[in-house]
Structure 1
Amino acid sequence: MSKKRTSRQTRAATKQNMHSRAPVMTMDAFSNPAARIGFGTLDLLQATEYPMTRMTQNYQLLTSLYRENWIIQNIISTIPNDMMRKWYDLRTSVAPEYLKQMTQLERRTQIRKKLLLGMYWGRLYGGAVGVILIKGHNDMSQPLSLDTIMPGSFLGLHILDRWNGVYPEGELVTDPEDPDFGLPMFYTVRNDETGTMVARVHHGRVIRFIGRELPWMEQVTEQYWGESEVEAIYEELTRRDNVAGDIAALTFRANINYQETDGLDQLLGSANAEIQRRFWNTLAAQSVMESNFGTRMINKGDAIHNTQYTFTGLPDVYDRVMMDVAGAARTPVTKLFGRSPAGMNSTGESDLKNYYDYIDGLRETELRGIIERLLPIMALSAWGRIPDDMDIDFPPMQTPDAKDVAEITERKSNAVLAAYQNDLIDAATAMQELKSLSDETGLYSKITDEAIEAGKGKFYSESRSMQDPMAGFSFPGSTGEADVGDGNEDPAAGEG
């Protein structure tokens, strides 16, 4: 009993000592106070701070930058324009006249322009919505049911940015199977002038557009919106504007004349106003004469000097600042500024290829979800039904020229032909492989399904043997095999 009490007292004392000890802060960092390098020293680098600004919430600044700065306008519009430049390809077995009806619906509702505007304001302000408008759906707080969409009822999208009267409510989507899981359940649309509620919209009737993604806590701080693109490039933009302004100011000082005048300090400091006025009049007269005749008259003993600035190195500085802005905007210099820097900073095909790969990725991760959400609604409005095989593809952003297409066609066609001639595939498979190249090369699209069906099981060696009139026959001494007769030969023939 005493041993148990002792062990309990020991554990209690140990626990009390653990709670009474002061917490010890540990840190892994480099520091050299003697050299003033590293953590905690009087180093200029250690004075660097990154305060939380949340510029996305500054509506006036973002709007002013967009209206006044052409670079901001290009940053906001370039990527969405490239994402929408090549529209999606609708893959379905419906007749061509139905595809024409879908195209007419897209034009009538201006769906491409509405999506562009949603991307614009989502990138500028960090958030925007496109409210799906359906004729006859007056209560927008109810979930959108596809069964209630009648032919000709889709009216397009109504685009609102986050500062234009649309406010997410606090209730969140709790269904993990819902694409909007973890996002607001409802959005309130208010009149900016009166503040009255215009509509309460269910999340199923809303297409969201945001800027850059944020961590969860920052997303909550931003009322479930994203970050403005301007916030990420603001520092680089201010550096570029200051460098450009300084370069422009230097042009006024590129050619300066200055005159040495004896007793100038006394003239400006102690002389009376009349003497100073005469001095300024003399300088003004000399300036006029220089402008008219290119000469200047001075007193004997005075001297005039000329200083010229060569601007050496400034283009390299400006190009580097320009490339920093382009890097922050995730857009090549050739797209953002409309020109390529000279020298080693020039951008070429590799930059555009990487950029177009990035755009292809954005279309898959961002635009595809929006299109697939709208497409069933548009199909019901245009056709009255949703085809089972309806799907979309995005054509690649960068398409090869005629020479590249010819080379690709030759190489891939030869590869298919080689496999067929070596009896690795039959004629049907070879024709299927060639037909699959039609989207990429524009050739072989006329291969019919009947021809493919007729080529099943037919190999190259069999077709060649059918073309040989002596196929299947062999002669003595030609292959080393015995001659096959009709069975009536004289067994003694050929003896002796």
Structure 2
Amino acid sequence: MANIIAFVRDSLTNMVASLGTSRDKAAANVYSMPMLTDEELLNAYRGAWLPKKIVDIPAFDSIRAWRDWQAKKPQIEAIEAEEKRLNLMGKLLETRIKARLWGGAALVIGTGDQDLAAPLDVERIGKGGLKYLTVMTRRHLTAGEIDRDPASEWYGKPKVYQLKSADGAQVEIHPSRLVIFNGSQQPDEDIVTTTYAGWGDSVLLSVVDAIKQADGTAANIASLVFEAKVNVIRIPDFMQNLGNAEYRAKILERYTLAATAKGINGDLLLDKEEEYEQKTASFATLPEVLMSFLQIVSGAADIPATRLLGQSPAGMNATGESDLRNYYDRLQAMQTVEMTPAMARLDECIIRSALGSRDPDIYYEWAPLWGMSEKEKADVFKTKADAARQLVGTGTGQEIIPRDAVSDALVNTFIEDGSLPGLDAAIEEYGKLSEQEPEEEEVAAAAAAQQAQQTPVVQRKPTADAAPRTLYVRRDVINRSDIVRWAEGQGFTDIVPDLHVTIAYSRTPVDWFDMGESWSPRLEIAAGGPRQMDSLGGDGKYKALLITASELVWRHRAMIEAGASWEWPEYQPHITIQIGGDVDLSKVEPYRGKIVLGPEIFEEVNDDWKSAV
């Protein structure tokens, strides 16, 4: 009898706690191996947005910024052309996506060798030696016996991979001929049993439960929309008369007619004894509930909600930018730890296939994944330029690195990071810094202009002499005669004698030696580019040629950051052509020729300069 009572009590406990059923809460404490067939993986990827994004996003982000080759310009062009010929980015993206979805994929390095079972000899690759790159998944390549030799490069990996050819024959491929990527790496081959041995798991395997919970929550919320408003009508003696067929028919007819008459906003006719009540569902907290489930998916997939969902979570969880930076940092670490070693042999083949030989100085760096704003790009550019100035010194023979060497390196840097589009073409047209020598007439004009102003270019003095003073900095136009000929041809009659470009005009006293120094004492602005005539000043009497020159803008910004003041809303480099006069600027064709500017001239602010002009 005691045994019977114990059995009944145990059964009741199981029933109340839902033990052993699909609602068993204790099941959450037990971990079992989730299994997804290839059909289920394919259906999830093709039919649901969350699994597809979880597979695609990290694969795409890891290669979208690609990499920057560090070599001589012709070598870089040849390597990049070889990558484009082989569609390396596209093939690598396909491999990464399939590896994450299926658990493993490989890029076959095709060199035209007949014996694919033999190790790949990279040194034998000549110019054009790479023939093709083919993407294959673990569904095509079967992993062979695992290498157990601790001294082997392939220890713990398959010694060979087998491919079934079109005619049914088995083709063996040595792992050195493959760029292998696994989805989710298995911890130990000895304790893991999978259908496809030698490969990893799909990245969806560990996140599928979180995805299903989020999808289920979203589906339940969607179904709740149709239950948002329920009408409740109480009918006297309803259950007592429900057994009467004639009564049931009248009830259905009665309330069908009532519902038709009411519609959405109409009147409802009821008997005096009937009661009508409307129940509505509240959606106030449902968005937070759904977002919580999506954040769980985001954490399980190791992709920030900002990237996975396209928007940051609100409120206390709004850490989108920092999460995104951490995510990109993790991807860059993955590029270094996982992708670079996997692609090492392929990269050696690409270099040799592009150049015919291997220059030991060639290497690459993965481009930053975090996209900078225009201001951040300008700040980085300025920092690099300032660092280059420090390396070459002031031109007094005290430079750390020869000026020409720094110039060449800086040009290569700006070409690679895209800071100055078209710089390589401009260098080819105008030559390098070391190849540029000022013409004799330009040197003489610069010296004459400097002597006429009776103000030498500021030189470094002991700090004790650097008392703060107002500051006016300009560059005089050396090829003034060219601009004067143009101005006279456009109808200008009273041309300013000292054509120049103002860089700073600070009434606030500053230490001149905090302003730094220009990259070059001679600045040449190439012909063409944006040019415009405009009337400046409060009364518009200054007829000026507006120009573009990055060096002038950066020097202006540097002086402002060092404490100089500027009384105008913005800085626009320009050359004042004439003060006053009645020239119709709408009929003036701007000067589009070359402009050569002399060294920076430092002076104190002179408010009487107008009378001198």
> If the length of structure 2 is used for normalisation, what is the TM-score?
0.59
SS at match of 2:261: helix
* Aligned 8 A contact 2:146 2:155 in 1: no
Partner amino acid, structure 2, of 1:172: D
Instruction: Tell me which residue corresponds to 2:347.
Output: 375
What displacement does 1:344 show? 2.1
Instruction: Tell me which residue corresponds to 1:176.
Output: 151
What displacement does 1:327 show? 0.8
Measured against aligned partners, the alpha-carbon deviations of 1:25-72 in whole angstroms (never above 9, x if no partner) come to: xxxxxxxxxxxxxxxxxxx9876433331526x222212211111111
Instruction: Tell me which residue corresponds to 1:50.
Output: 30
* Aligned 8 A contact 1:129 1:209 in 2: yes
What displacement does 1:188 show? 0.6
**Residue 65 (structure 1) aligned to one of 34, 40, 44:** 44
Q: 1:265 to 1:155 in 2, by over 3 A?
A: farther
Measured against aligned partners, the alpha-carbon deviations of 1:374-401 in whole angstroms (never above 9, x if no partner) come to: 1221233233222222211112111432
* Aligned 8 A contact 2:176 2:345 in 1: no
SS at match of 1:296: coil
**Residue 131 (structure 2) aligned to one of 145, 155, 176:** 155
- Percent of aligned pairs with the same amino acid: 25
- Superposed, 1:376-395 pairs within 5 Å as 376-395=348-367
Q: 1:188 to 1:417 in 2, by over 3 A?
A: closer
Instruction: Tell me which residue corresponds to 2:320.
Output: 348
Q: 1:54 to 1:300 in 2, by over 3 A?
A: closer
Matched, 1:84 2:71: no
Instruction: Tell me which residue corresponds to 2:228.
Output: 254
What displacement does 1:293 show? 6.2
Partner amino acid, structure 2, of 1:257: N
Partner amino acid, structure 2, of 1:167: T
| CA distance in structure 2 between the partners assigned to 1:203 and 1:142 by the alignment | 9
- Superposed, 1:77-116 pairs within 5 Å as 77-93=56-72, 95-96=73-74, 98-116=75-93
| CA distance in structure 1 between the partners assigned to 2:99 and 2:217 by the alignment | 29
Matched, 1:328 2:296: no
Q: 1:413 to 1:267 in 2, by over 3 A?
A: same
- Superposed, 1:15-414 pairs within 5 Å as 48-55=28-35, 58-93=37-72, 95-96=73-74, 98-135=75-112, 137-162=113-138, 164-172=139-147, 174=149, 176=151, 178=153, 180-190=154-164, 196-217=168-189, 221-222=193-194, 223-268=197-242, 270-271=243-244, 273-291=245-263, 294-408=266-380
Which stretch of structure 1 is more off in the superposition, 411-420 or 344-353?
A: 411-420
Which stretch of structure 1 is more off in the superposition, 73-82 or 406-415?
A: 406-415
What displacement does 1:123 show? 0.8
SS at match of 1:256: strand
Measured against aligned partners, the alpha-carbon deviations of 1:83-118 in whole angstroms (never above 9, x if no partner) come to: 11111111223x52x433333332232221111111
Gaps of 5+ in 1: 1-43, 452-462, 467-496
What displacement does 1:141 show? 1.2
SS at match of 2:251: helix
SS at match of 1:320: helix
| CA distance in structure 2 between the partners assigned to 1:109 and 1:409 by the alignment | 33
Q: 1:389 to 1:294 in 2, by over 3 A?
A: same
| CA distance in structure 2 between the partners assigned to 1:150 and 1:429 by the alignment | 37
Give RMSD over aligned pairs.
3.5
What displacement does 1:357 show? 0.7
Partner amino acid, structure 1, of 2:206: A
| CA distance in structure 2 between the partners assigned to 1:338 and 1:47 by the alignment | 34
Partner amino acid, structure 1, of 2:140: G
SS at match of 1:366: helix
* Aligned 8 A contact 1:417 1:430 in 2: no
Q: By percentage of residues, which structure has more helix?
A: 1
Partner amino acid, structure 1, of 2:76: L
| CA distance in structure 2 between the partners assigned to 1:166 and 1:379 by the alignment | 27
Partner amino acid, structure 2, of 1:358: R
What displacement does 1:243 show? 1.0
Instruction: Tell me which residue corresponds to 1:9.
Output: none
Partner amino acid, structure 2, of 1:76: V
* Aligned 8 A contact 2:393 2:399 in 1: no
Measured against aligned partners, the alpha-carbon deviations of 1:340-386 in whole angstroms (never above 9, x if no partner) come to: 22222223211111111111111111221233221221233233222
| CA distance in structure 2 between the partners assigned to 1:172 and 1:371 by the alignment | 21
* Aligned 8 A contact 1:207 1:370 in 2: yes
Partner amino acid, structure 1, of 2:39: Q
Partner amino acid, structure 2, of 1:154: L
| CA distance in structure 1 between the partners assigned to 2:83 and 2:391 by the alignment | 44
- Superposed, 1:412-451 pairs within 5 Å as 426-429=398-401, 442=419
| CA distance in structure 2 between the partners assigned to 1:215 and 1:91 by the alignment | 36
Partner amino acid, structure 2, of 1:264: F
Instruction: Tell me which residue corresponds to 1:12.
Output: none
Partner amino acid, structure 2, of 1:69: A
Q: 1:298 to 1:430 in 2, by over 3 A?
A: farther
Which stretch of structure 1 is more off in the superposition, 250-259 or 142-151?
A: 142-151
| CA distance in structure 1 between the partners assigned to 2:402 and 2:76 by the alignment | 31
Measured against aligned partners, the alpha-carbon deviations of 1:110-163 in whole angstroms (never above 9, x if no partner) come to: 22111111111111121112222223x22211211234434334233221221x
Partner amino acid, structure 2, of 1:139: D
* Aligned 8 A contact 2:391 2:400 in 1: no
What displacement does 1:75 show? 0.4
| CA distance in structure 1 between the partners assigned to 2:402 and 2:320 by the alignment | 38
| CA distance in structure 2 between the partners assigned to 1:92 and 1:108 by the alignment | 19
> If the length of structure 1 is used for normalisation, what is the TM-score?
0.71
Q: 1:396 to 1:219 in 2, by over 3 A?
A: farther
Q: 1:416 to 1:109 in 2, by over 3 A?
A: closer
Instruction: Tell me which residue corresponds to 2:483.
Output: none
* Aligned 8 A contact 2:305 2:320 in 1: no
Q: 1:426 to 1:231 in 2, by over 3 A?
A: farther
Partner amino acid, structure 2, of 1:253: E
| CA distance in structure 2 between the partners assigned to 1:429 and 1:379 by the alignment | 30
* Aligned 8 A contact 1:219 1:226 in 2: no
Partner amino acid, structure 2, of 1:226: G
SS at match of 1:299: coil
Q: Highest relative contact order (Cα 8 Å, sep 6+), 1 or 2?
A: 1
| CA distance in structure 2 between the partners assigned to 1:352 and 1:47 by the alignment | 34
Q: 1:236 to 1:151 in 2, by over 3 A?
A: same
| CA distance in structure 2 between the partners assigned to 1:105 and 1:411 by the alignment | 33
Partner amino acid, structure 2, of 1:88: R
| CA distance in structure 2 between the partners assigned to 1:155 and 1:267 by the alignment | 85
Q: 1:91 to 1:230 in 2, by over 3 A?
A: same
Gaps of 5+ in 2: 1-23, 436-458, 463-613
Aligned residues: 400
| CA distance in structure 1 between the partners assigned to 2:418 and 2:363 by the alignment | 22
Q: 1:287 to 1:73 in 2, by over 3 A?
A: same
What displacement does 1:403 show? 2.3
